[in-house]
Amino acid sequence: MRLLMLGGTEFAGRAVVEAALADGWEVTVFHRGRHAPPAGVRSLHGDRTAPDGLAALADGEWDVVVDTWSAAPRAVRETARLLAGRVSRYVYVSSCSVYAWPPAAGYTEDAPLVEGASADAEQTDYARDKRGAELAVLDAFGAERSVLVRCGLILGPYENIGRLPWWLNRIARGGPVLAPGPRELPLQYVDVRDLAAWILGAVRRELGGAYNVVGPRGLTTTGELLDACVRVTGARAELRWTEPEVILGAGVEPWTQVPVWVPPGSELHDALHGADVSLALGSGLLCRAVEATVGDTWGWLRSLGGVAPQRVDRPAVGLDPAVEAKLLGL
């Protein structure tokens, strides 16, 4: 199989490239040259935001293109139109954010979608940008040759958002740790390598259409995730479980200041940890245990000296130590 990966040097894109190489695929990576791609790929340089930025893609044919673009949908429209006659299938890594807010717990791929999105738009907001990019792919490739991968929370090695790396580093420091309750709160996420494996399987099966590609609801819990962080780091950390009302009452923001966590019973929890993923599971999605995700992420993080990469277009996450200490009464 011949893969054209748009990006491919960081997180989800890199995981797809590494999985394809491991399966013996021929891989071309189109990127801006800011980060080195994995060894064994053909590397093409270009900037989709620049005039003539797609020049390196003027020639060539591939079985599939995988795209993770998160900014102006116009860039996806131009790329999809350029490749429509030379690529068999377009896989766009989208987001469950494309559903109209607030999605009800258990929402499927048929749930209402965000309004106001356009394939021709410049950058607006994340939800409409992702939906606009979906429309761009559908316009150029049609529903049968398009795979819209609507992801939720993605964790694993190479994470450049900082959620799991923050927890690992915080717990590795040891001492009393603010643990957001309840500990049995179910979480929904996908390991980036399981996401990559599903994408390659979708290409082999010649799938088309939209799929919520996240692990099943309750794949793990907050307690299991943080306990795994304690075990893999070997830290002398004391998880102090704190009621959601206490955390929220202190003005602490779920998801950003307390990564991964959102309070139970909230619209945000239903949206981020409540997707129906029956289609993905029925089409081959397999999810590894939380211990493997946490352990491998810790190994990767240690190889970087504990400093994870951070996307410049995403805010840093995590709780200020002074705020944590105050909440814990230290």
Q: What single letter denotes the amino acid at residue 176? A: P
For 243-281, the pLDDT digits (tens) are 999 999 999 999 999 999 999 999 999 999 999 999 999
pLDDT score of 309: 87
* Residue among 124, 61, 122 nearest 88 (CA): 61
Distance from C-alpha of 123 to C-alpha of 126, rounded to nearest angstrom: 8
The pLDDT of residue 160 is above 90: yes
Global pTM?
A: 0.97
Q: Which fold has domain 160-186+219-273+289-327?
A: UDP-galactose 4-epimerase; domain 1 (3.90.25)
The pLDDT of residue 311 is above 90: no
pLDDT score of 313: 80
* Contact present, 29 and 41 (Cβ < 8 Å): yes
Query: 217-249 burial string, b = 16+ CB within 10 Å, else e?
Result: eebbbbbbbbbbbbebbebebebbebebeebee
Strands annotated E in 11-78: 26-31, 42-45, 62-67
* Residue among 16, 303, 253, 18 nearest 154 (CA): 16
Place 10 in a pLDDT band, splitting at 50, 70 and 90. very high
Q: Dihedral sign for Cα 234, 236, 242, 244, please.
A: negative
Q: Quick one: what percent of the chain has pLDDT higher than 70?
A: 100
For 206-220, the pLDDT digits (tens) are 999 999 999 999 899
The pLDDT of residue 314 is above 90: no
For 164-222, the pLDDT digits (tens) are 999 999 999 999 999 999 999 999 999 999 999 999 999 999 999 999 999 999 899 99
pLDDT score of 276: 98
The pLDDT of residue 310 is above 90: no
For 102-147, the pLDDT digits (tens) are 999 999 999 999 999 999 999 999 999 999 999 999 999 999 999 9
Place 31 in a pLDDT band, splitting at 50, 70 and 90. very high
Q: Break the chain into its structural domains and give their ranges.
A: 2-151, 160-186+219-273+289-327
Residue range 280-286: mean pLDDT, rounded: 98
For 41-75, the pLDDT digits (tens) are 999 999 999 999 999 999 999 999 999 999 999 99
Percent helix, percent strand, percent coil in the chain, to nearest 5: 35, 20, 45
**What are residue 282's phi and psi, to 5 degrees?**
-75, -15
Range in 25-29, 133-137, 304-308 the model is least confident about: 304-308
Q: What is the CATH number of domain 2-151?
A: 3.40.50.720
The pLDDT of residue 315 is above 90: no
Whole-number CA gyration radius for the chain: 20
The pLDDT of residue 224 is above 90: yes
